[in-house]
Amino acid sequence: MQTEKLGVAIVGAGWVAHAHARSWMKNPHARVASVCDVDLDRARRFIEELQIDCPARDRYEDVLADKEIAVVDVCSPSHLHARQGIAAAQAGKHLLVEKPVALTVEENRALRDAVAQAGVKSQASFVLRWNPAIETLKSLVLRGAIGKLFYVEVDYWHGIKPTHHAWNLYSRRETAGSTMLLAGCHAVDAARWLSGDEVVEVTAYANNFKGLFEYEANVVAIFKFQSGIVGKVSALFDCEMPYAFNIDLAGTDGTLRDNRIWSKGLFPGQNDWATFPCILPTSGDVSHHPFDGEINHFVECILQNRESHCNAADSFRTHELCMAIDRSIAAGGKPVRLPLSS
């Protein structure tokens, strides 16, 4: 029987790390055993604010050398994720890493391989897999409520402003990567997760009308899936509107649109959309995200010695698809085949 709590190190004491820490603190099988940030004072303030009994550190090497640490939760800026994740795996630590887990093809492969070689448990923070609406949509598709799926559409529309607390990191290519890697990856991952299929070819276009980012801010990509499903994913940073995460799934016997369903099999007398009540992914605020479900799932995977459906090997595919989208954009909309050769 498991009696010793899993010691967790929070790496990066920023916005999303607060949400992670609160969820770790709720889990009866885990304890926050270290908070690490390059700014030691910020790590100390983090600990004081959340009233955690643990050391503050500014050296990542000290975290990895601590035998009380079983899990490293990487919440640092995006360009550090792969490097820190690889080091954690090589140190024998289980790994939870915020998205994007990598910004280059080489980093993406290196992280996947390091986790596999170390034999540690891993999970990418595609937290929307635990959103109640997406859990319901996944269940309905698996139960055949809309028949055989033939079209998938997911949109991430979030007008990120220069007043955002992390604007400099978000707007720079070096630290954010691209629109798809930074945030559109949630839509890409949802398309993979809800379809249960893999994309074999992508064509994408983009623009940067406001010029607020070093990379193209608005992206649309067309997917061809292995099974013949077709799909579309878009991500807009220039939009002037509240945050939206649109989901459309069309099947041979019905259609799902966000929390609405039309199903010949379930409702043969239906003459209008039926709506299922649930929490929708309608906010970019981390306090709205289901981190409790994500972290509880990861703890179960560690304790039960099983792989997460969102592990490094799976998240590799989502990130590779984002990188294929960026390649197609760079090539002026030329189709790109997957998997990527280099």
For the chain, the domains span: 6-127+291-309, 128-285+319-337
Q: What is the mean pLDDT of residues 143-149?
A: 98
The two tokens of residue 221 are 């990509």
Distance separating alpha carbons of residues 106 and 118, to the nearest angstrom: 18
Distance CA 130, CA 331 (A): 35
pLDDT at 162: 84
Q: Which of 33-37, 161-165, 175-179 has the lowest mean pLDDT?
A: 161-165
User: What local confidence, expressed as pLDDT, does residue 228 receive?
Assistant: 98
Q: Is the pLDDT at 2 greater than 60, yes or no? A: no
pLDDT of residue 33: 98
Q: Is the CB of residue 217 less than 8 Å from the CB of residue 210?
A: yes
- CATH fold, domain 6-127+291-309, is Rossmann fold (3.40.50)
Of 137, 321, 144, nearest in space to 224 by CA? 321
pLDDT at residue 223 tops 90? yes
Give the residue-averaged pLDDT of 166-186.
93
Q: What is the mean pLDDT of residues 9-18?
A: 96
Say if CB 334 and CB 203 are below 8 A apart. Answer: yes
Name which of 74-88, 154-168, 202-216 the model is least confident about: 154-168
Read off the pLDDT band of 3 (50, 70, 90): low
Tell me the two tokens of residue 22: 């609160």
Banded pLDDT at 190 (limits 50, 70, 90): very high
Whether residue 196 is predicted with pLDDT greater than 90 in this model: the reply is yes
Q: Is the pLDDT of residue 1 over 50?
A: no
* pLDDT band, residue 138 (cuts 50/70/90): very high
Half-sphere exposure of 242 (CA within 13 A, CB side): 5
Confidence of residue 161 (pLDDT cuts 50, 70, 90): confident
Return mean pLDDT, the chain: 96
Mean pLDDT value across residues 274-280: 96
Quote the pTM value.
0.96
Q: 281-285, long-range: CB within 8 Å, 24+ apart, which pairs? A: 281/128, 281/131, 281/133, 281/134, 281/245, 282/242, 282/243, 282/244, 282/245, 283/243, 284/158, 284/243
* CA–CA distance, 324 with 341 (Å, rounded to integer): 11
In this structure, whether the domain defined by 128-285+319-337 belongs to CATH 3.30.360.10 is answered with: yes
Q: Specify the pLDDT at position 342.
A: 67
Please determine, for residue 229, whether its predicted confidence score (pLDDT) is greater than 80: yes
Taking only the tens place, the pLDDT of each residue in 38-59 is 999 999 999 999 999 999 999 9
Residue type, 180: M
